[in-house]
């Protein structure tokens, strides 16, 4: 009995000192043993660890949507209210370095800090109307490229930077809308002008074609051809069953020269 007890005792002690953790999909686990971080990563699944000497740190590797409200400076010196989404994720192989070099507060320490610097630098080179119109995509791209250059080597993948909403000062917003409407009217008038010019060109080409055709017909006409056409027409009339009255000058059927009357 004592022998069985001494055999079971180590097993019970091991079970007491050991616990399990479940690493879910979209994250990896890191072992921190007595304050030292293990460079290996724990893939999704069940992992055992010593509850007294080891701590498991979960690090998300799936895409995170970090929403930020920030006043962006414009080229005119205005502060433009904005709501921005930063889509990023941590590369699983870099998770130990991220936690060791930056810590678990990496969003505040590097993500937001780098974003604020990049956004201020990029937006200060654009006018406020660019943030409100088609310049928005260029701003998003430049801010993302700036963040990728700094954070990419440190283990972060910046997928997108999205300007979700822009709040302009009321007077500026109204003036931009009026300018956009004026530009649309000008573009419509330019289109109408181009269409009229094309139509005039078409009519001119059509008139030139008719003129050239008439010149060709006129140059090909002769007295013999006209006489033959007259005789042919006279023959068709003569064979027609309908009643008719044909007046000629006796020489050219159907052709009467008013100057000889």
User: CATH number of the domain that 87 lies in?
Assistant: 3.30.479.30
Q: Across 42-56, 95-109, 161-175, 179-193, which has the greatest mean pLDDT? A: 95-109
Residues 115 and 164 in one domain: yes
3-state class (DSSP) for residue 47: strand
Give me the mean pLDDT over the 123-131 stretch.
Answer: 85
6 CB-side CA count, 13 A: 3
Which among 169, 191, 212 is the end of a domain?
A: 169
**What's the structural domain count of the chain?**
2
Per-residue pLDDT tens digits for 61-88: 999 999 999 888 888 888 888 899 999 9
Residue 14 has pLDDT above 90, yes or no: no
Give me the mean pLDDT over the 7-29 stretch.
Answer: 64
Residue 246 has pLDDT above 70, yes or no: no
Tell me which residue range forms the domain holding 41.
12-60
Residues 45 and 102 in one domain: no
Q: Is position 144 within any domain? A: yes
- pTM attached to this predicted model: 0.58
Per-residue pLDDT tens digits for 187-209: 788 888 888 888 888 888 888 88
Residues 75 and 164 in one domain: yes
Residues 69 and 155 in one domain: yes
Q: 62 Cβ partners below 8 Å, 6+ apart?
A: 25, 26, 27, 89
- Three-state SS across 213-229? HHHHHHHHCCHHHHHHH
Read off the tokens for 81. 């209210």
Q: What is the pLDDT of residue 1?
A: 53
Residues 124 and 92 in one domain: yes
What are the helix (H) ranges across 152-222? 170-220
Q: Report how far apart the first and last C-alpha atoms of the chain are (Å, whole number).
A: 155
Residues 86 and 141 in one domain: yes
Q: 126 Cβ partners below 8 Å, 6+ apart?
A: 74, 75, 135, 138, 139
Residues 34 and 93 in one domain: no
Give the range among 88-97, 125-134, 173-182, 204-213 with minimum mean pLDDT: 173-182
Residues 36 and 79 in one domain: no
List the strands of the sheet with 27-33, edge to edge: 36-37, 27-33, 54-60
Q: Is position 68 within any domain? A: yes
Angle among Cα 196, 198, 203 to the nearest 5 degrees reads: 95
Mean pLDDT over the full length of the chain: 78
Read off the tokens for 223. 């007295």
Residues 55 and 69 in one domain: no
CA distances from 90 to 61, 96, 196, 217, 247 (A): 5, 10, 59, 82, 104
Q: Is position 4 within any domain? A: no
Q: What is the pLDDT of residue 228?
A: 67
């Amino acid at each position: 009995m004592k022998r069985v007890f001494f055999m079971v005792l180590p097993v019970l002690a091991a079970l007491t000192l050991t616990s399990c953790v479940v690493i879910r999909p979209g994250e990896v686990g890191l072992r921190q043993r007595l304050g030292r971080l293990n460079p290996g990563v724990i893939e999704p699944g069940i992992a055992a660890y010593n509850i007294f000497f080891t701590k498991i740190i979960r690090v998300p590797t799936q895409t995170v949507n970090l929403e930020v409200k920030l006043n962006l400076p414009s080229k005119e010196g205005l502060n433009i209210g904005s709501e921005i989404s930063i889509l990023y994720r941590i590369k699983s192989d870099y998770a130990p370095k991220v936690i060791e070099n930056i810590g678990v507060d990496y969003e505040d320490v590097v993500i937001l800090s780098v974003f604020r610097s990049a956004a201020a630098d990029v937006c200060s080179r654009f006018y406020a109307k660019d943030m409100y119109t088609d310049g928005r995509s260029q701003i998003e791209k430049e801010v993302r490229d700036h963040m990728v250059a700094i954070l990419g080597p440190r283990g972060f993948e910046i997928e997108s930077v999205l300007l979700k909403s822009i709040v302009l000062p009321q007077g500026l917003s109204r003036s931009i809308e009026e300018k956009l409407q004026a530009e649309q009217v000008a573009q419509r008038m330019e289109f109408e002008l181009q269409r009229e010019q094309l139509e005039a060109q078409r009519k001119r080409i059509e008139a030139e074609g008719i003129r050239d055709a008439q010149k060709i017909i006129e140059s090909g006409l002769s007295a013999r051809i006209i006489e033959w056409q007259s005789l042919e027409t006279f023959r068709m009339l003569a064979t027609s069953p309908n009643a008719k009255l044909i007046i000629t000058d006796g020489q050219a059927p159907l052709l009467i020269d008013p100057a000889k009357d």
